[in-house]
Structure 1
Amino acid sequence: MDINKINDAWIAAGQKVADLDNKLAIQTISDDFEPNDEFKALKEQRDNAKIQRDTLKEQLDEARANEVYRMKDEDKKPLNDKQLDLKDKFVRDFKDMVTTGKTDAGNAGLTIPDDIQTTIHTLVRQYASLQNLVNVERVTTPTGSRVYEKFSEIKPLANLDDETAKIGDNDDPELTTIKYLIHRYAGITTVTNTLLKDTAENILSWLSTWIARKVVVTRNQEILKVLDTASKKPTIANFDDIKDLQLNTLDPAIIATSSFVTNQSGFAVLAKVKDAQGRYMIQRDVTNPEQYRIGGKPVMVVADRWLPDVSGAHPLYYGDFKQAVTLFDRENMSLLSTNIGGGAFESDETKIRVIDRFDVEQVDGDAYAVASFKAVENQQATTPETSGATTTK
């Protein structure tokens, strides 16, 4: 069998084990946890998946060993300087950091280079990332400020009826200063010695996937914290309340570029709401069947685990989130390892810490609203009497 196919199968099997582990963890941490038949079946599925993963790893190692054994001596040449690119150097530095604790930066850890950060950011966009909704500004300093003039605060020019009238000064614009302070967000994972024996590509793949997931969860959490400080928080009870949210809550200039965000449970409720003619309020985009719309505005659906209900109420965000929120991204991720602290010494393991540096700030609180709902009533059906139409006999 082709070694690349074995490698792909091994990676897929490892991902399957990780997904099943997450499902087991969600059930196990529940206060009313009981190992019922469903849980036992899921655990058995996870155990079988681990056997498959480990077997594929053994096959992969054997295939690689056989491939090296069959190589001719004249084909075994050392890599030249051009082949030792930045990624290979990063992997070597990563191994050195894990095994010896030493880096070129001393105790500061290992900075993730730009090309690998690009890979991580690409992976971030593959997950349910709210970062894609807000404005992202890349910064190079840990602190700074930005000055904004809100659209709603711009005042018109004065009307001069008399051609000889003196033109007065414009009123000074009302400016808002937004200050950012880059924060450090860190997480720790455990690696085994077998990881360090793997190929450079597999090490990079593992690192990129792990970091990307951490980054998505962390940044989503901070974006939601800022969004939840909205000054406008209407409660939705029926079809027309959603129309009011869409058409009568924000400035018309904001409405043109606005969209909806809700969680999966909320979307399940909204998807069943009908208008007076019995048509579903949520419609598929005719140009993209995977995209849903309310009144022509896109609807983004986020899993409940990332965007949970609050006191039993589903969230419904509406507005132009790029106008409302800015994420200041320092783009300076770093890694640091230890085989002593955090229980690593006792278990003969190595702990890897990743640090992400960014800040999230509200720029225009009038550019969006945060509604909530539990149940949404359909729009009342119209009849000639209620609609004002006349009937002929």
Structure 2
Amino acid sequence: MEKTLIDEKNTEVRGYEDYIRSKGEVRDGVSTENAAAVVPSEVIGEVFDLKRSKYNLAQYATVKTVSNGQGTYPVSTNQEAILATKEEMAEIVDIDADMFANVDYKVETRAGKIALSNEVVEDSEVNIVQEVKDQLTKLVDNTDNKHIIDLLKDFPKQTVATLDDLKEVNNVMLDPALDKTVILNQSGFNHLDTLKNSDGRYLLQPDVTAPSGKSLFGLPVALVSDKLLANPKAGTYPMIVGDIAQSVFVARRNQVTTQWEKFDFYSQGLAAIIRNDYEKIDEEASVYVEFTPNDGEAVE
């Protein structure tokens, strides 16, 4: 039985490879939707496997596969609910707290180009499915990152000028029960990474569990590019502090379709279509910070 399932998967992937090499002419073994080829689930499973991605902010968010184009998804958010004392033979009472946030989503269609040269298509030695997978992964990563950052920048904004102000965001503005992460761009990371305390120790400390290998005030730091999270102005560094999983909901329709197209006179390839949505969960779970450090501030 297991061998039969493996053979079916391999047949599906081989059929998709034939579809690409024939530039959309051969469709044997390929599932279609609205004349577009459905990318095999084996390929899509790896594209959407966030553990494999080194640079996709969706790995910190709450990502759910949805079967409908729109709807409501309950996401657990409550950090303070307690279990009520129950007397023998008494009914179990309702917990006096909202345990879930009902997130309304409506997936949108998003398209991108996977460019393939004639040489790549016609060379049988090239693993063309892997080439498509690599390009599709980049498209998904870039799409996730842009929409998640845009959403996080719309959370409550706090302007800070000192490291004490920055500590207050973590210590006071955000619930201590949150599983917090700090997202920095390159400029902000570089600035904080050059600061030392009175003992000569750098402010950013080594942390093998953090995505960037560093932590700030004990919080793991994730590093993104200046292009993705741009400085609002010279000398001001943006950052997000908070629980991204409790802040951002990603509704994912895992079916991806592609269609062979000629993009212009010189290029051709696959037009890839994905469907997803990005929504806020809890407005109090993250803070968007703009840090404009005072000149010559000493680090304690």
TM-score of Structure 1 vs Structure 2, range by shorter chain: 0.7 to 0.9
CA contact (8 A) 2:149 2:228 kept: no
Q: 1:361 Cα deviation (Å)?
A: 0.9
Which residue in the other structure is 2:176 paired with?
Answer: 252
More helix by share: 1
- Tell me, in whole angstroms, the C-alpha distance in 2 between the residues paired with 1:281 and 1:243: 12
CA contact (8 A) 2:17 2:128 kept: yes
The 1:92/1:223 distance shift into structure 2, 3 A limit, reads same
- Taking the TM superposition and a 5 Å limit, the aligned residue runs for 1:201-240 are 202-231=127-156, 233-240=157-164
The 1:152/1:348 distance shift into structure 2, 3 A limit, reads closer
1:105 matched to 2:32? The reply is yes
- Tell me, in whole angstroms, the C-alpha distance in 2 between the residues paired with 1:222 and 1:381: 34
Alpha-carbon displacement from aligned partner over 1:96-144 (angstroms, at most 9, x marks no partner): 4534799752643011111111232358843421111111111122111
Tell me the amino acid that sits aligned with residue 128 of structure 1: Y
Tell me the amino acid that sits aligned with residue 180 of structure 2: S
Q: Which runs of 5+ in 1 are unaligned?
A: 1-80, 159-167, 383-393
**3-state SS of the aligned residue for 2:215?**
strand
Quick one: percent identity of the two aligned structures? 24
Worse-matched range after superposition: 82-91 or 373-382:
373-382
1:321 matched to 2:244? The reply is yes
Tell me the amino acid that sits aligned with residue 109 of structure 1: A
**3-state SS of the aligned residue for 1:265?**
helix
- Tell me, in whole angstroms, the C-alpha distance in 1 between the residues paired with 2:172 and 2:9: 60
CA contact (8 A) 1:149 1:174 kept: yes
Which residue in the other structure is 2:15 paired with?
Answer: 89
Tell me the amino acid that sits aligned with residue 141 of structure 2: V
Q: 1:234 Cα deviation (Å)?
A: 1.3
Which residue in the other structure is 2:90 paired with?
Answer: none
Residue in structure 2 matching 1:331, options 239, 254, 258: 254
Residue in structure 2 matching 1:308, options 205, 224, 230: 230
1:114 matched to 2:13? The reply is no
Alpha-carbon displacement from aligned partner over 1:51-100 (angstroms, at most 9, x marks no partner): xxxxxxxxxxxxxxxxxxxxxxxxxxxxxx88963221111123345347
Which residue in the other structure is 2:106 paired with?
Answer: 181
CA contact (8 A) 2:117 2:268 kept: yes
Alpha-carbon displacement from aligned partner over 1:220-261 (angstroms, at most 9, x marks no partner): 111112111102x1112112112112211111211xx21111
Task: Give the TM-score, by structure 2 length.
Answer: 0.81
Which residue in the other structure is 1:273 paired with?
Answer: 195
Which residue in the other structure is 1:61 paired with?
Answer: none
- Tell me, in whole angstroms, the C-alpha distance in 2 between the residues paired with 1:381 and 1:189: 48
Quote the RMSD (CA, aligned, Å): 3.4
1:243 matched to 2:243? The reply is no
Q: 1:380 Cα deviation (Å)?
A: 4.2
- Tell me, in whole angstroms, the C-alpha distance in 2 between the residues paired with 1:170 and 1:121: 36
Q: 1:277 Cα deviation (Å)?
A: 4.2
- Tell me, in whole angstroms, the C-alpha distance in 1 between the residues paired with 2:84 and 2:34: 59
Which residue in the other structure is 1:49 paired with?
Answer: none
CA contact (8 A) 1:269 1:376 kept: no
- Tell me, in whole angstroms, the C-alpha distance in 2 between the residues paired with 1:318 and 1:289: 15
The 1:97/1:107 distance shift into structure 2, 3 A limit, reads farther
Paired residue total: 285
CA contact (8 A) 1:237 1:377 kept: no
CA contact (8 A) 2:31 2:38 kept: no
Task: Give the TM-score, by structure 1 length.
Answer: 0.63
Tell me the amino acid that sits aligned with residue 252 of structure 1: P
- Tell me, in whole angstroms, the C-alpha distance in 2 between the residues paired with 1:155 and 1:108: 53
1:261 matched to 2:186? The reply is no
- Tell me, in whole angstroms, the C-alpha distance in 1 between the residues paired with 2:17 and 2:260: 14
Q: 1:201 Cα deviation (Å)?
A: 5.4
- Tell me, in whole angstroms, the C-alpha distance in 1 between the residues paired with 2:9 and 2:277: 37
Worse-matched range after superposition: 91-100 or 108-117:
91-100
- Tell me, in whole angstroms, the C-alpha distance in 2 between the residues paired with 1:266 and 1:196: 43
Which residue in the other structure is 1:353 paired with?
Answer: 271
Which residue in the other structure is 2:286 paired with?
Answer: 368
- Taking the TM superposition and a 5 Å limit, the aligned residue runs for 1:30-69 are none
CA contact (8 A) 1:149 1:175 kept: yes
**3-state SS of the aligned residue for 1:252?**
coil
Tell me the amino acid that sits aligned with residue 20 of structure 2: F
**3-state SS of the aligned residue for 1:326?**
strand
Q: Which runs of 5+ in 2 are unaligned?
A: 1-6, 86-92
CA contact (8 A) 1:94 1:110 kept: no
More strand by share: 2
